[in-house]
Chains A and B, each alone.
Chain A
Amino acid sequence: MASGDFLDLSKLPQRSTVASQRWSSLMTIVLVVCSLISVLTTLGIIAMLVYEASGFFANDQIRLSRFFTDTKWTVGQTQGEIHYGILPLLSGTLRITAIAMLIALPLGVITAVYLSEFASKRVRSILKPALEVLAGIPTVVLGYFAMVFITPYVLQPLGDFKTFNAAAAGIAVGILCLPLVTSLAEDALRAVPRSLREGALGLGATRFETTVKVVLPAALSGIIAAFLLALARAIGETMVVALAAGSTPTWTLDPRLQSQTMAGYIVNTFQSESVVPGSLSYYSIYSVAAVLFVITFGITVLGQYIRRRFREVYN
């Protein structure tokens, strides 16, 4: 279609003005209904988690206080007393997330600085697509990479790392978050007006000084938003941890040991096919998912809020 025939009247349905007005109003309603599906999704998630997680705590054996204080998680294991403390799962998640952020944040911000402040067009045309490809790699592939490459060839020569360990999963999650941090931080750096840079350079600052003392502080809120959004992504990451971090919840700080996360527990439980509605492991999924959802949703909302606010500053 050439741009000339956008409003080819012969293609319009031949209706009277009143009829096409009615049609237009009808379509408005259709569009509103479609838009409400995304709202329904959020409400559905919240309602489902509240309802089913309350089913978990309705069980006589389960008490809410123990859920947040017990340092053992043994739901789904057949032997022994049932412990249902979320702390091991939570600490496993935080361990892996911390490692991931230690990798993704500095590397991502420096890459973003390079792309927005120094890179020539040619370097950019290689780096940007590479980052986009990295962002498009499915997470199950990165999990596999962590399992067959990072653990045996990078980590195990360095120390006594178990076959499944928190460090490998953390590194892979960091790789996964790297493009996200880079692209959000680059947006933030590019939003800093040229005049600020020119002012600093004009005063005799080198480009390094301009970047570190002027541009980065000016883009700080955007970089914090990038950090928060990547954090939410890392906390909810599932397939990498399911493959590389093992399936034993541990209450430790040692990155060489297995480390089941909240998302990892959910997917391992589903995979075991023992999930029958009404069973304890079925309800436990929802209670863990509720904690996971509250944390990630909270961080995302905060990140989006900061991102929106900082955008307004220079526009």
Chain B
Amino acid sequence: MAISNTLNRTRSVGSRKSFDRGFQIICLLVASLAIVILVMLVTAILFKGGGWLSWGFLVNSHRENLPEQSGVGQAIIGSLVVCLICGLAAMPIGIATAVFLEEYQPLSRLGRLLHGFIQLNVSNLAGVPSIVYGILGVTAFVYMFGWFGQIQANKPPPVEMGASYFYQTKTLGKKWVQFPASDRTKQVFVIESSLSAFNESGQPIELNVIDRSATAPTEPELRDRTVYAGATASILATKRPWYFHLPFSKSVLSAGLTLALVILPIVIIAAQEAIRAVPSSLREAAYGLGANKWQVVSTTVLPSALPGIMTGAILAMSRAIGEAAPLLAVMGGVISTTNSLGNLMDKSPVLPVTIYRWAQDENPAFENLAAAAIIVLLVFLLLMNSIAILVRNRAERKYA
């Protein structure tokens, strides 16, 4: 065999031994390359971005051509909201799948086939590139396969709730008045006759409509609620925090759900490992006390697997917060918005996309800002990983 060939060679034991030592040293050098790369990466980023970190950087939002006044305020909030949605969607589904795969071994042939197929599917899904999930997110959440029609510019979405539409116009007294819109699809309303409306302080008033040829009233109170016939009022939407429409369009909700699909396989695999680590004696004790399947799972397996599940889930979320490709697909390269995030249907910049856009900006100062944004992102990752380690250590102490 191979070994005897080696031993039969005429090389002396000494040269073989020194060769062995040389090999170990080469191995050590190669292995420490990972540390060298890590140090270079962190140094390069601190060097480029360190000087740009300030309180203003953390709270401001992006300003075109004004790197000194730009910041990651909106992006931090956007990233946290998207990550929260992602976690809320991925964790229950992921844990449920893991429980099904680990605790419910089916007895029938068909059941076993389904079981094996789901397991195979989960491990293969983990290898699908995140950009493909991004495209799925665009199709399934942004456009919803076209089932609800398309959202067009200047038109309200086909299905929505939590929004009220008003027409707004200026009176002769230069005051704004609003009145409820009867038809939300019409952009402009032409006022022909008197109607009830609200003034700027929200009190109900009766809109006074006069003919163009008539003389305008001089009394201030009346002037403030008088318009000429044929005056136009433009539409205005007030959106509640729970504002919601179908399809989801390019929104933080679409983004969060897409990221949930990306991390779902990771959550499932981590939760499976945590559940597998629960000693079977605990299950048997619970069964022995007369608990049924779900009682065993909910009172015994899940509580003792919870720290492991949480550790895996937090690590999966730290993967999600750094993902840029699916978010670029789902929300586009949005880098700043005029309104702050008010409901789940809004777009928002997020940290990884902001880094990407700044790195590509023609103004070289933004390249340094991108490094500063990377530092912020890495701090978030560090925090999440520390929490994960903390949870793991506390659990180890408890069940040791």
Contact = CB atoms under 8 A, between A and B. Distances in A.
Interface of A: 1-3, 6-8, 11-12, 20-21, 23-24, 27-28, 30-32, 34-39, 41-42, 44-45, 48-49, 52, 107, 110-111, 113-115, 118-119, 123, 126-127, 130-131, 133-134, 136-145, 147-149, 175, 178-179, 182, 200, 203-209, 211, 213-214, 217, 229, 232-233, 235-239, 242-243, 263, 266-267, 270-271, 273, 277, 285-286, 289, 292-293, 296-297, 299-301, 303-304
A111 B30 contact: yes
A242 B304 CA distance: 43
B127 A277 contact: no
A67 to B, nearest CB: 18
B322 A138 contact: yes
B97 to A, nearest CB: 4
**Most chain B CB within a 10 A radius of its CB, from A110, A179, A304:** A110
Nearest to B146: A277
* Among A41, A175, A213: residue with most chain B CB under 10 A: A41
Interface bin, chain B: 35 or more
Contacts of B134: 266-267, 270
A12 B295 contact: yes
Contacts of A8: 299
B6 interface: yes
Interface in B365-390: 367, 370-371, 374, 377-378, 381, 385
Chain B CB within 10 Å, residue with most, of A30, A52, A131, A270: A270
Nearest to B150: A277
A205 B6 contact: yes
29 contacts: A8-B299, A11-B299, A12-B299, A28-B294, A31-B97, A41-B264, A52-B139, A110-B30, A131-B34, A138-B377, A139-B322, A141-B377, A143-B356, A143-B359, A144-B370, A144-B374, A149-B40, A149-B41, A179-B34, A203-B7, A208-B23, A209-B3, A233-B127, A238-B325, A242-B356, A263-B131, A267-B329, A292-B131, A293-B129
Contacts of A209: 3, 6, 16, 20
A303 B128 CA distance: 13
B244 interface: no
Interface stretch (B118-126, B172-180, B196-204): B118-126
A6 B323 contact: no
Given A110-B30, A123-B28, A270-B328, 15 more contacts: A7-B299, A7-B300, A24-B293, A35-B97, A38-B265, A41-B264, A45-B136, A127-B31, A140-B359, A236-B128, A266-B131, A270-B138, A296-B128, A297-B124, A304-B123
B100 A206 contact: no
Contacts of A232: 127, 129
Contacts of A179: 34
B156 interface: no
A48 B140 contact: yes
A7 B3 contact: no
B282 A31 contact: no
Given A37-B97, A148-B48, A208-B23, A140 B265 contact: no
B185 interface: no
A45 B125 CA distance: 10
Contacts of B374: 141, 144
Contacts of A114: 24, 27-28, 30-31
A214 B225 CA distance: 93
Given A1-B303, A34-B100, A285 B34 contact: no
Contacts of A233: 127, 129
A114 B33 CA distance: 12
B132 A293 contact: yes
Contacts of B41: 137, 141-142, 145, 149
Given A141-B378, A208-B20, A31 B99 contact: yes
Contact of A110 (B26, B44, B120, B299): B26
B242 interface: no
A237 B127 CA distance: 11
A213 B35 CA distance: 29
Interface stretch (B50-58, B59-67, B212-220, B284-292): B284-292
Given A34-B97, A140-B352, A209-B6, A271 B359 contact: no
A24 B355 CA distance: 48
A208 B19 CA distance: 8
A171 B253 CA distance: 35
A304 B377 CA distance: 32
Contact of B7 (A12, A42, A204): A204
B324 to A, nearest CB: 4
Contact of A6 (B33, B265, B303): B303
B130 A238 contact: yes
A243 B360 contact: yes
Contact of B322 (A42, A130, A140, A182): A140
A236 B360 contact: no
A233 B325 CA distance: 14
